[in-house]
Chain A
């Protein structure tokens, strides 16, 4: 079995056996979204205007929460060391880990997002475009977060450091994603922003695994 599939199937099996953990970022996503109507005002027009931004910021924060544990247990029990030793490219293993992480944390968020869209009075006709923007966006966030998680995995204060490292890098994703969702909500064509997101995703899949691998090597050396 190829190392990519091995990591993927092992990760997914582990995630299935610890199903409870999967729901934590989702609950976080729902709660953060809920705070905005409570904090601002429940007027339907206001909610409709802020919905794209709120959903996207909530998704960004939820992705960040779930990324903390991306390499943690493998670092603690020595699996990462084995990753360095086995005759398979570390970049590929890292990509497999990102893919499985996105599958158990990003994808459920995308599936849940139309529901949160309804709570935020987001127009139903634009739901598919919003979910599509989150589909691309959460995948890019998983990639970027993996760099931060790999750089901070051996550190005691990794919890606070990770957002500081990842959030500035995630800004283009937020801009294009929220723009696509907002354009779709206004009945405009969001394809420009969606194409840009897709381009970022392709760029990320191509380049980011190298950065993750370099980061894992740095963390294992210390």
Chain B
């Protein structure tokens, strides 16, 4: 294979380049997020009818589902970035993992809060030891463990690598945790089928939900890129190029 074919990848190992690209992309994601979320909120809160069983209470799914999905996607980003950092010793990959973890923890927290707010009128209680709620709670603590371990090291490089090892152990363990909890207890409704002829969700609800999912994802990436920028600046604070950009 052509040895230059990976050049684009290696350029991301250069902090000024990553800083510049992240700075260019972040506003685009933010604008896309604002538009998508605005459209999704309009569709979700005004133009779609109340659910025949749940009334207006179901509308919290427009926040809950995107948060829950992002909480898991973000852990995979942390794990992939950690693996890249460990395998290719790419220091900036660790910066991405460290920048992503608090975002993931926030979305996990949001998913838990919205879930329990929905649970109060629907299940009659804020919290049940249901499988998915419990898995989300455990995921929150996996994030906390990663963040705490990463910060406990005085030497940043060791903290990065220690956190990365933990993230990889966690990602191998995550499916085991999930299924053990599912077999332990399940009250949460099963996955809803979104597409196809036997779809279980009305189009008037599906479209805003998809808009919100894409909007949240754009918002997540906008925040992630900003956080990566901040992380890179902090790590490179003694480098000459940072004086030029700030």
Task: Report A's interface with B, CB cutoff 8 A.
Answer: 147, 151-152, 154-155, 157, 161, 164-165, 167-169, 171-172, 175-176, 179, 196, 200, 207-208, 211, 214-215, 218-219, 221-222
Complex Cα distance, B148 from A172, in Å, reads: 22
Proximity bits, B162-188, A CB within 8 Å = 1, else 0: 100110111011001100110110000
Which residues of the partner chain A approach B155 to less than 8 Å between Cβ atoms? 222
Instruction: Choose from A157, A179, A196, A214 the contact partner of B165 (Cβ within 8 Å).
Output: A214
- Within B174-212, the residues touching A (CB, 8 Å) are 176-177, 180-181, 183-184
Instruction: Choose from B144, B154, B162 the contact partner of A151 (Cβ within 8 Å).
Output: B162
Could you count the A-B residue pairs with CB atoms below 8 Å apart for me: how many are there? 76
User: Could you give 16 example pairs across A and B, Cβ below 8 Å?
Assistant: A147-B165, A147-B169, A155-B153, A164-B145, A165-B148, A165-B166, A168-B145, A172-B173, A179-B184, A208-B169, A219-B158, A219-B162, A221-B158, A221-B161, A222-B155, A222-B157
Residue pair B148, A164 in contact (C-beta under 8 Å): yes
Given the contacts A200-B176, A222-B153, A222-B155, A215 and B148 also touching, CB distance less than 8 Å: no
Task: Report B's interface with A, CB cutoff 8 A.
Answer: 86, 138, 141-142, 144-145, 148-149, 152-155, 157-158, 161-162, 165-166, 168-170, 172-173, 176-177, 180-181, 183-184
Residue pair A165, B149 in contact (C-beta under 8 Å): yes
| A179 CB to nearest B CB, Å | 7
Complex Cα distance, B74 from A88, in Å, reads: 37
Complex Cα distance, B123 from A162, in Å, reads: 36
Residue pair A218, B161 in contact (C-beta under 8 Å): yes
For the complex of A and B, 10 pairs with smallest distance between CB atoms: A222-B158, A172-B180, A218-B161, A168-B141, A175-B180, A165-B145, A222-B155, A218-B162, A172-B176, A175-B184
Residue pair B161, A168 in contact (C-beta under 8 Å): no
The dominant DSSP class at the A interface is: helix
Complex Cα distance, B166 from A211, in Å, reads: 8
Residue pair A171, B172 in contact (C-beta under 8 Å): no
Residue pair B176, A207 in contact (C-beta under 8 Å): no
Instruction: Choose from A164, A172, A179, A221 the contact partner of B177 (Cβ within 8 Å).
Output: A172
Residue pair A168, B138 in contact (C-beta under 8 Å): yes
Residue pair A215, B176 in contact (C-beta under 8 Å): no
Beyond A151-B166, A168-B142, A172-B181, 19 additional pairs, beta carbon < 8 A: A151-B149, A161-B148, A161-B149, A164-B141, A164-B145, A164-B148, A168-B141, A171-B177, A171-B180, A172-B173, A172-B177, A175-B180, A175-B183, A211-B165, A215-B162, A218-B161, A218-B165, A221-B161, A222-B154
